[in-house]
Chain A
Amino acid sequence: AQSVTQLDSHVSVSEGTPVLLRCNYSSSYSPSLFWYVQHPNKGLQLLLKYTSAATLVKGINGFEAEFKKSETSFHLTKPSAHMSDAAEYFCVVSLPGDDKVIFGPGTSLSVIP
């Protein structure tokens, strides 16, 4: 069965320092992987997605994620955090030919001035 784990429910970083949000998935097949961001009182917005092309995926707002099949991971990174990055981040898995989209539990990112 497919599953998504986000290892940290909350991450706090100082402005200008790197961001790492971790995501691991469980799947028997090659999945499509997504990161979505949700700012306070807003809907979710796509940051980036992996669909079996380049393993390093660049997204909006300076975020990127690397697909590592051997580690079943899709961690989200950003070199330098900005105050506007404070939000909830969701890692999502879907399988070609399957009828399920699975959301991780979310990681809340706080950015300290």
Chain B
Amino acid sequence: DTAVSQTPKYLVTQMGNDKSIKCEQNLGHDTMYWYKQDSKKFLKIMFSYNNKELIINETVPNRFSPKSPDKAHLNLHINSLELGDSAVYFCATSNSLQETQYFGPGTRLLVL
């Protein structure tokens, strides 16, 4: 019954590795997002997808690539992980950019 789910919940990995975080929503929303939250709780929007089209890319390094296989999924793939990528990554969904966003529980990434 979880509206927005993310896997994995925790991810510990070495520098230089490639990893993916998955997000799934069962709300039927048209727009999905990825956010990065740093240790100071500052929330930065990374990407959003609307009907499988990228509509925001906030100057995120190209090591990060969102992939949307269908309307219910927006996965985040990260190449060549760096120490500074350690953060909590949140997936969210909404009917549109101006409407309420529903957040997943977060994925806590630690790069060693």
Contact = CB atoms under 8 A, between A and B. Distances in A.
Nearest to A43: B103
B43 A99 contact: no
Interface stretch (A63-71, A74-82, A100-108): A100-108
A100 to B, nearest CB: 7
A88 B90 CA distance: 15
Contacts of B98: 32, 51, 94-96
B97 A44 contact: no
Interface residues of A, number: 25
Contacts of A98: 97
Contacts of B66: none
Q: How large is the interface on B (under 10, 10 to 19, 20 to 34, 35 or more residues)?
A: 10 to 19
B52 to A, nearest CB: 16
Contact of B105 (A43, A51, A94, A100): A43
Contacts of A94: 97-98
Nearest to B56: A99
Contacts of A103: 43-45
Contact of B90 (A43, A95, A96, A101): A43
B100 A34 contact: yes
Interface string B35-49: 000000111110000
Interface in B16-63: 41-45, 55-56
Interface of A: 32, 34, 36, 38, 41-46, 49, 51, 88, 90, 94-96, 98-101, 103, 105-106, 108
Which 9 interchain pairs have the tightest Cβ spacing?
A: A43-B103, A44-B103, A103-B43, A106-B41, A46-B100, A32-B98, A94-B98, A43-B105, A88-B41
6 contacts: A32-B98, A36-B101, A44-B43, A44-B103, A98-B97, A99-B56
Given A43-B104, A46-B100, 17 more contacts: A36-B101, A36-B103, A43-B92, A43-B103, A43-B105, A44-B90, A49-B100, A88-B41, A94-B98, A95-B98, A98-B97, A99-B56, A100-B56, A101-B45, A101-B101, A103-B43, A103-B44
